[in-house]
Each structure stands twice: as structure tokens, then as C-alpha cells.
Amino acid sequence: MKAWPEHGAARAGLHNVVSAMVEHELDQGNARAAESLLAELESPPEHLRDRISSTLRSSEVKQRRMESLAAMGREMDLGIGQKTRVVVAVVLGVFWTLLPLPSALFPHIRSFGLSFSGMLMMVGAQLVLLIGLALWARTTMSRTAVNRAVLGAAFVATGAQAAFLFGCMVSGTEPRTTFALLQVLPFTILAVLAATLFHGLWPSAIAYLIAFGFASWDLVAGYWAVSAAGLVITANVVVLWRPRTPTLQEMERVSKVPVQRFRV
């Protein structure tokens, strides 16, 4: 071609070779490489231009979809902020475990704890603790949708408890009945979390449902059951969110490469 650019057969041969290379690159999904090759032709075939344009558009859509899925994966990554999430949950769990014990052990404290002012004061103390934990862990707990959901659920539960107590007080509901019904709120929120994000939280949800049953049957037994439910949720989150080594199946699923299994 350099020695005789006007050679018709050589020009036609070059055109066919480059066109075939473009077709090959397109078949391999390399639209950019195909575009570069096509630029070498003086009169590129229209059907190849159209195919390259279509492939580039598809590649861009696929790339955006992959970026969206990657961002979604980061938002749902349980490994991000795992230790902080456990610390927040354990502190709250210990608080919920210890809070009912004075009312269960001491009758004179029980009378105050069963009053609306006493129950509202306990919810207020929970809110103060929650705000302190949120400020301490604000950077980590705001990084993913999972961590925001955990912290948001705690705030929603606290706000719902305060609203429920105020409504029962205004409507004239007996404090004894109010205390029993109050256990339905954590059961509901934990059940929603267990059904959507953390399937392993079902023991905690069931523990508060059992606490509701005991509180409806006997006041003192109810306090002990609520304390036990707090202990259950503490142990539950430690086991559920503990750091662990990925299994061979998980490693293969992520890497797409079989992991060698060694025998000893």
C-alpha cells in the first residue's frame, strides 16, 4: 500500500481486513477498539458505524448500571462500621437490660416506675443515651444505609415510646396496661428489621413478644421478662454482627475463581 497506494486490490483487501477486525472487536465487546480501527478506513461501512454506536450506548448503560450496583453494595455492606454498630447496640442492650431491674427488685421503686412520669423519665434517659451514642458514632453510622437504618430504628422506637406513653396518659389508659402494651413497639420494630435487613434478629423480636405476654400476666414477671429481652438483644447483636472469616463458598462467589481446598 505504501509503494502503490492506488492499487485497487490492495485497498480492497485492506478494507476487508480492517472491517473483519472491527467485526471481531465488536463480537468481543470492545467497542472502543473497534472505533479506533474503523477510523483507519477512508470510507467506513455505515452498518459498522451504526453497530459501534449501538454497542457504545449499551456499554455506557451497562457501566452506569454496574456503578449503581456497586454504590448499592457499599450502602448495604455489613462490614462497614461493624464494630461501631456492635458497640452502639451493646450499650443500648445493656441499658435495656438494667433499666427494669430496680422496679423488679424494689416495690417502692416499682410504684414510681409504673407511673407515667416514671416511664417518660426512662424514655427520656434512653433518648439522652441514644443522642450521645449517635454523636460519638456519627461518622461511621452515617456511611451506609444499613448503619443509618439501625440508628434510625433506635430513634424511631424511642420517639414511638414517648408518643405512645403520652397518648395513653391523655386517654386515661391505666399505667399497668400501658407498660404491657409498650413492649409491642420494640417487638414490631425488631420484627421489621428481621424481615428486611437482619434476619438473625428474630430471637430479639420474639423475646419482646414474650415480654409482652409476661407483662400482661404479672407485673413483676413482666419487669424480669423485659430485662431478659434486653439481655437477649445484647447477645443477639454480638453473635449476629461479630467479625468472621468468609467461607470458601463466599470467597469463590466474590472472586469467581475456585479456591483450592487443602487436606491435612
Q: What is the pLDDT of residues 49-75, one digit of tens each?
A: 777 788 778 777 777 777 776 666 666
Higher per-residue pLDDT: 9 or 210: 210
Residues 155, 225: Cα–Cα separation, whole Å = 23
Q: What is the pLDDT of residue 146?
A: 83
Cell (9 digits) for 28? 468481543
pLDDT tens by residue, 152-205: 889 999 999 999 999 999 999 999 999 999 999 999 999 998 998 889 999 999
Q: What is the pLDDT of residue 246?
A: 52
Residues 184, 152: Cα–Cα separation, whole Å = 18
CA angle 108, 109, 114 (to 5 degrees): 110
Quickly count: other Cβ atoms within 10 Å of residue 236's Cβ: 22
What's the one-letter identity of residue 186?
P
The answer to whether the CB of 187 falls within 8 A of the CB of 208 is yes
Stretch 222-233: mean pLDDT: 96
Stretch 195-223: mean pLDDT: 94
Q: What is the pLDDT of residue 248?
A: 54
Instruction: Please name which of 95, 217, 75 lies closest in space to residue 147, comparing C-alpha atoms.
Output: 75
